[in-house]
């Protein structure tokens, strides 16, 4: 694969180049090592693409996962407790999970278990490789990366997306770098308040 475009949000790319250059080298090396041709394996059954051979999201995800895990990038999960009372959520937001639950129950409310999970984490950098539905990109950027940053688990989030030139050769509903960049920029220069690197890739 080829790294085609980069967008640095809140100096995320600059942070990596200065403070974690070895991790940025690993990410770019993994992208370069994925053989897109070997992932051109899905025969479409969609009406508009029937019979066409497309890039398989499953195969692409597997290729990235194998290479990142070989470099010790690991899945990470943050657990927390939620309730319907917004004031109680504000009060417990920054507490450890066990204390969150205690406070919610002590206030007479129902404590509901929840969590955020990121696919790849290493030395305070999170990577999401997104070939799923386009709505998942917003969840990655505005919830996942944000939650791990606020929770002091990461300094930078990296979002890897297909360029439009790759997306059109995949199943319908897959996100693309260009649309995701537009959605990010229209929120303003400081939202979400987490440094990120948005990466566009193509074969």
Tell me if 168 is assigned to some domain.
yes
Count of domains forming the chain: 1
Check which CATH number belongs to the domain holding 10 and give it: 3.40.91.20
pLDDT of residue 134: 85
Q: Other C-beta atoms within 10 Å of 20: how many?
A: 18
pLDDT of residue 42: 93
Condensed to tens digits (0 to 9), the pLDDT of residues 99-112 reads 999 999 999 999 99
Tell me if 134 is assigned to some domain.
yes
Residue 106: which residues within 8 A CB-CB, separation 6 or more?
none
pLDDT of residue 48: 85
Q: Other C-beta atoms within 10 Å of 135: how many?
A: 9
144 touches 126 (CB < 8 A) = yes
pLDDT of residue 47: 85
Q: Residue length, the chain? A: 203
Tell me if 101 is assigned to some domain.
no
Tell me if 196 is assigned to some domain.
yes
Enumerate residue ranges in the chain where pLDDT < 50. Answer: none
Tell me if 113 is assigned to some domain.
no
Tell me if 194 is assigned to some domain.
yes
Sheet holding 196-202, edge to edge: 2-9, 196-202, 156-162, 125-129, 112-122, 74-82
Tell me if 192 is assigned to some domain.
yes
Domain span at residue 69 reads 2-74+121-202
Tell me if 64 is assigned to some domain.
yes
Q: How far apart are CA 6 and CA 95, in angstroms?
A: 35
pTM of the predicted model as reported, rounded to 2 decimal places: 0.91
């Amino acid at each position: 694969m080829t790294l085609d475009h980069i967008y640095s949000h809140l100096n995320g790319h600059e942070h990596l180049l200065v403070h974690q250059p070895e991790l940025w080298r690993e990410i770019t090396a993994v992208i370069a090592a994925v053989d897109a041709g070997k992932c051109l394996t899905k025969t479409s059954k969609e009406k508009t693409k029937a019979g066409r051979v497309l890039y398989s999201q499953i195969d692409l995800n597997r290729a990235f996962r194998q290479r990142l895990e070989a470099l010790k990038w690991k899945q990470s999960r943050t657990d927390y407790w939620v309730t319907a009372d917004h004031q109680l959520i504000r009060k417990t937001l920054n507490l450890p999970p066990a204390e969150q639950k205690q406070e919610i129950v002590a206030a007479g409310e129902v404590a509901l278990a929840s969590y955020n999970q990121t696919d790849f984490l290493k030395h305070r950098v999170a990577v999401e490789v997104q070939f799923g539905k386009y709505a998942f990109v917003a969840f990655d950027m505005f919830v996942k990366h944000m939650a791990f940053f606020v929770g002091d688990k990461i300094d930078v989030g990296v979002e890897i997306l297909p360029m439009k030139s790759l997306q059109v050769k995949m199943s319908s509903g897959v996100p693309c770098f260009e649309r995701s960049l537009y959605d990010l920029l229209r929120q303003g220069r400081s939202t979400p308040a987490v440094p990120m690197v948005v990466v566009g890739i193509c074969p």
